[in-house]
Homo-oligomer: A and B are copies of this chain.
């Protein structure tokens, strides 16, 4: 809505340690690795602070693609509706992550991206962004990296066979992502209902319940409704099995 001074994730002088204060370090952040003047250029084309209420969409499947969106606060789900009207949840997005990358290919948003709670995003016009990347090599590289990471992430989802492994991997990667962003990696408030988790992992919500129960009995986690506490990260990781990028 407005373009005030400090945008995407960066206030210039707090960059010192990590390059990207807002989404605190990590390789997911677009402005990572840029210098001050480059960041200002990037800021110039970002429209920050679009507020969303629970259940509002950032964009919808089939709309023409013009902008990427960076999540500032809140949690989002990304879902596709098939020919029979069934919703399939492809993933969840946390603050600092970029949505809309899968829309570049055909210039059409491929999913509905919906806020799970009150949230805010900033928009980045794609044309302007690609103009800018042409003159800032490290920005181009970072954008490519983020697309590449998205491929990796989806691959990771595919890797897990058993239901327990799938759920464990889901929780574990969620924990990692929160940690990377400076939140607690052990005390997590699940933003999404069981039904959404079940949908995303291709399981019945009842199964989720039973698995949570078992994992709690095994001392891995402590869960009460949406409040999740990871009590044994190592065991959880082992159970999750194949997580990429580690070791």
- CB contacts (< 8 Å) of A80 on chain B: these are 155, 159, 242, 244
**In the complex, which range does the number of interface residues on chain A fall in?**
35 or more
Knowing A148-B103, A151-B151 touch, does A88 contact B134 (C-beta < 8 A)?
no
Q: Which of B88, B140, B141, B149 contacts A159 (CB 8 A)?
A: B88
Residue pairs across A and B with Cβ atoms less than 8 A apart, 9 shown, are: A7-B106, A83-B241, A83-B242, A104-B145, A143-B144, A147-B147, A151-B151, A154-B154, A157-B158
Cβ of A140 and Cβ of B149 under 8 Å apart? no
Q: What 0/1 pattern do residues 125 to 140 of A give for CB contact below 8 A with B? A: 0000011011101001
Our pick among B103, B135, B143 for the contact of A134 (Cβ within 8 Å) is B135
Q: How far is the CB of A139 from chain B (nearest CB, A)?
A: 10
Query: How close is A169's CB to chain B, nearest CB, in angstroms?
Result: 11
Tell me, yes or no, whether A117 is within 8 Å of chain B by CB: no
- Measuring CB to CB, which residues of chain A are less than 8 angstroms from any residue of chain B? 7-8, 27, 80, 82-84, 88, 90, 101-107, 110, 130-131, 133-135, 137, 140-141, 143-152, 154-155, 157-159, 161, 202, 241-242, 244-245
Chain B residues positioned under 8 Å from A7 (CB to CB): 106-107
Given A134-B134, A137-B134, A241-B83, A151 and B161 contact (CB-CB distance below 8 Å): no
